[in-house]
Amino acid sequence: MLNENPDQIRERRGLSVKWNSYEKDVIPLWVADMDLPTPPEVTQTLLDTISRSDLGYPSKQLYDRYLTSLNHWSEDHFGYSYKADELEPVGDVVQAIYWATKQLPGDSVIFLTPAYPPFFRAVKESGKEAVTSQMPLLAGSYQIDMEDLREKVRKHPNSILLLCNPHNPTGRVFTRAELESLAEMALENDLWVISDEIHRDILFEDHVHIPFSSISPEVEARTVSLISGSKTFNIAGLHAAAVHIPAGTPSETMRLIPKGLLSGPSSLGMLASAVAFETSGTWLNDTLNYISHNREALSDFSTASKVNAAIPEGTYMSWIDLAPHLPADDDNAYEYLLREAKLALSPGLDFLPVGGETHVRINLATSHQTIEESLRRLKSAIGL
């Protein structure tokens, strides 16, 4: 069980980019990993493995155990498993985003904004056109503008649809009805879909994650899914992810990049993920309960202060618009909070290049005290 024991939840000044990029008096709530301990089973297994110096190239058995455990977890948690022989182990999800956007057929890539920043970079590197559809805020929740998206698909018929669900940074967990509309659009227009589902286990209240591929066999046949235990179990630095590439995908397109150029998962990453998938369901529930408290603190703060913060349905991120609270001549929220509140959040412009300057993304996966202090600093910086 997580508690307030400072030995369990601490600043991680060791190897973490999150805690080593700013001055010591700055609270860093930016990059998407947690300040919470990894599952104890994972820690013990890693310690045992390292103490045996068992750090050679990974065996076929380890690859098999990794993919099998990932698939069993998917079946148990989402009632859907991927076809085992279509699951490809990869080093990380970002690599797979670059791989799939470049290799799948399509002249442009359509995605929702605000968006996870590597989406912009991957599309640019692929040489394809980025076509974006901004999610409007309606009654406190960011929505897909289906009309706008349909129009963009109509204008760019030879496209790839790049999805992120649960959605970073708005925290939306798309409903079945929303996913079915997207699926219909994809099938009607013969679009390939890349579905980044790395945040699929970080769910609050009664929100349910529906794997995009599970919508129908036709959708599955056109969807490349990106999955990983790295966010779920807080082991991003160990590098292990997987891509589901359906058999119908033109193999020449997905395989054009020689496999030797793609780094695979690390043995410690696969081992840690497998152990976590096999044993750490209760740990995940406890961790989500712990983070819920921070989510509620943000919600109370938002109601009391009228600060427009999207309370996440999934992911441990919140997308905050500080527009009405910033000085007219100083409207870059990230820079303002870094300077005035010593808070390092993620800059809105990275997610929304036009109009994102008044926004920031905050990472809620930290200690209760850290969130309390961060909200206190935020409030004071905006003069409330």
Ligand X SMILES: Cc1ncc(COP(=O)(O)O)c(C=O)c1O
Binding site for ligand X (CB under 6 A): 32, 92-94, 116, 164, 168, 196, 198, 228, 230, 236, 241
CA angle 77, 210, 40 (to 5 degrees): 35
What is the C-alpha to C-alpha distance for residues 72 and 78, in angstroms, rounded to an integer? 10
311: left (phi over 0), alpha (psi -120 to 50) or beta: beta
The amino acid at 184: E
Strand-pair category, 129-134 with 108-113: parallel
Q: How near is the Cβ of 186 to ligand X at its closest, in Å?
A: 19
Q: To the nearest 10°, the Cα dihedral for 40, 41, 43, 47? A: 140
Q: Which is nearer to ligand X, 98 or 192 (CB)?
A: 98
Q: Say how many C-beta atoms besides its own lie within 10 A of residue 61's C-beta.
A: 8
Say if residues 233 and 42 touch (Cβ distance below 8 Å): yes
| Closer by beta carbon to ligand X, 164 or else 309 | 164
We find the least distance from the C-beta atom of residue 300 to ligand X, in angstroms, to be 26
Contact status, residue 28 vs residue 18, Cβ threshold 8 Å: yes
Chain Cα centroid distance, residue 260:
26
| Minimum distance from residue 96 beta carbon to ligand X (Å) | 8
In the bound complex, what is the minimum distance in angstroms from residue 52's beta carbon to ligand X? 27
Whether the upstream peptide bond of residue 117 has omega within 30° of 0, thus cis, is no
| Residue 93 or 349 having the CB closest to ligand X | 93
Choose between 94 and 272: whose C-beta lies nearer to ligand X: 94
- Smaller CB separation from ligand X, 220 or 350: 350
How distant is the alpha carbon of residue 184 from its chain centre? Answer: 24
CB–CB of 176/187 below 8 Å? Answer: no
Q: Which is nearer to ligand X, 67 or 381 (CB)?
A: 67
Q: Write down the least CB distance from residue 197 to ligand X, Å.
A: 9
Nearer to ligand X, 212 or 301 (CB): 212
Q: How far is the CB of 216 from ligand X (least distance, A)?
A: 24
Shortest Cβ 379–ligand X spacing (Å): 27
